[in-house]
Amino acid sequence: MRKIYRYFIIRYKNRALKNKLNCFLGYLLLWIPLIAFAGIEQHGKIWLGLDKSGLLLNDSDWRYTLSTQMRGITSSAVLQTFFFDGRLGYPFFTDFSVWVGYRWSGNYPGNSFYGEHRPYQQIQFPLIHYDSIKFTARSRLEERIRSNQDQVALRFRQRITT
């Protein structure tokens, strides 16, 4: 095992091999959860989405992101959820940014429909940046307002991405 490791470390300096190794590791990381949960019986699901992000103005640091997504299942109700999401953000430092956004989602879990409004605030910041691997964290505070309830729910969500 040590010889194989040394071989890859020595050859890792080769740029083409480095790119192939990164692609292989990324592909492996995508398939590990699928293999781990392959024995669990569940409905087939499909998520279709479109995202658009960029600078708000060419000479500005303000950024925007627009997203829409449809989530479906293959049981009695084909359409389960769809949402529209938009947010504005400003980078205060190189990798640290503050965002404010709004998401509307329509949910159809079976035979009833309800809409949900989610204004939110979030910050994004780097956790680890090592060579070509970069971990970023997001902390988000959401105010959830459902059309079938009279209450407002607060939810604090965190996510780590690469």
Q: Parse the chain into domains and list their residue ranges.
A: 1-41, 43-161
- pTM for this predicted structure: 0.66
Spatial CB neighbours of 16, under 8 Å, sequence gap ≥ 6: none
pLDDT digits (tens, 9 = 90+) for 107-144: 877 777 888 999 999 999 988 888 888 889 999 999 99
The sheet with strand 152-161 has its strands ordered as 45-55, 63-73, 79-91, 97-107, 114-130, 133-146, 152-161
Distance CA(112)–CA(106), nearest Å, equals 11
Identify the three-state secondary structure at position 12.
coil
* Residue 145: CA count within 13 A, CB half-sphere: 8
